[in-house]
Structure 1
């Protein structure tokens, strides 16, 4: 080989970083998990779509078998979540995870894990919806705000990478800041929502709201990673 010419190789290793979403179950009951996944994520595209997931055993008292973990892999895949790793488990839990084909993440082997930064999509003009959004329908404003000029029914879902403005009763689920924008807000002239979320922080509104908020004009925002619900005419 001529001097100075490097022989080509079939492959090479390069450093890479992969961000994982932690899934921390308190139970592996398939029916219970499925119900809560549908409640929080719906049946269509959602803020975590396409994410890689690591199951965290720290809150799970039981030791699952490999078959139950494989069922969980399939269950999360139905919601466009890829369960690929496990962490925080005892020896038996880690053994079951390995048998199920999951990678074991060893915290002791990590010298530095930077805090993931929220992914804020490039803003685009607001999406404006003029017709009612019925039960079972989902509207997603990718990269910008969503403005709805009609009813959002129970069982409907409105999602935006930016803020959500509903100038009518909001009775379904509203998820603003879907790609991590903690400054996003939800505004409505009539708050009757089932669930609201800002940048992944959820709250169901099944409990009674104060009289000055229930069925009135309100906004929802984040304050120190906690959801705050305020009447537009004044603070709660």
Structure 2
């Protein structure tokens, strides 16, 4: 008897793709301080951090904590409202710890220079921790991007994501609250930007973000990000551009 074509089809399809996972970098081992700082982050931006998947990065500690200590850290992350999913790559000891805890290892996030006296943890949505936000009247010229430009002529509605892999992203309509637009190059929004915009998704620090009406929930370039609560109020609703200058995410009004 010949099997139907339906039964010959695979039951599941496994792919690797672009996913939004936060990196929680522990800068000193202080579980109580970590809990308090995560609670403050959730309170300041619940739409960004609540139930966000998190990779725990232990690479900046002088020594790895034990299994029970890591389990306690994961419990505290869950109690704060975030969802720990694994450890970041580090040393062979770090890999052994992940195996003993039956946890996955994720590609290590790019480390920045750390200074003493900073908070116990950093949370980043891509590769780096938040930087200072500033305004300037004359930003540098935008860097060139050699990849293909993706044009999107429809509104990006809540819950939708548009990703321009390898190039710039041009959007001619609204990016709604709860929507996400991502580009490996720069992002140009010729309408209102109300959701999240993540440029330089693969680490391109010359990427820029431009929009005609700025109400963003979050803007990020090469992992440096700011959320709505931290953005200058005088820029809201205005034509705005964002770019990186060293480790700093800068914002300025267009025109």
TM tier, smaller: 0.5 to 0.7
Match of 1:158 in 2: 181
* 2:175 corresponds to 1:171: no
TM-score, normalised to structure 1, is: 0.58
Change (3 A) 1:130 1:55: same
CA positional deviation for 1:198: 0.5
Given candidates 215, 226, 234, the residue that maps to 2:248 is 226
Distance 1:85 1:123 in 2: 31
Match of 2:87 in 1: 83
Match of 2:15 in 1: none
SS of 1:162's equivalent in the other structure is coil
Match of 1:14 in 2: none
Change (3 A) 1:76 1:144: farther
Distance 1:99 1:142 in 2: 36
Distance 2:87 2:181 in 1: 26
CA positional deviation for 1:24: 1.2
Distance 1:129 1:174 in 2: 14
Match of 2:155 in 1: 132
Structure (1 or 2) with the larger CA radius of gyration: 1
Match of 1:6 in 2: none
Distance 2:46 2:89 in 1: 19
How is 1:1-236 mapped onto 2 (pairs within 5 angstroms)? 23-25=24-26, 39=48, 54-56=57-59, 58=61, 65=68, 68=71, 75-77=83-85, 83=87, 85=89, 99-100=100-101, 123-207=146-230, 209-211=232-234, 213-233=235-255
Change (3 A) 1:173 1:24: same
Distance 1:202 1:133 in 2: 21
8 Å CA contact 2:87, 2:98 repeated in 1: no
8 Å CA contact 1:69, 1:100 repeated in 2: no
8 Å CA contact 2:179, 2:195 repeated in 1: yes
SS of 2:237's equivalent in the other structure is coil
CA positional deviation for 1:147: 0.4
Deviations 1:142-168 (A, max 9, x none): 000000000001111100000000000
Distance 2:205 2:49 in 1: 18
The structure showing larger relative contact order (alpha-carbon pairs under 8 Å, at least 6 residues apart) is: 2
CA positional deviation for 1:96: 7.1
TM-score, normalised to structure 2, is: 0.54
Distance 2:74 2:212 in 1: 43
Distance 2:219 2:71 in 1: 31
CA positional deviation for 1:57: 6.4
Distance 1:224 1:42 in 2: 31
SS of 1:158's equivalent in the other structure is strand
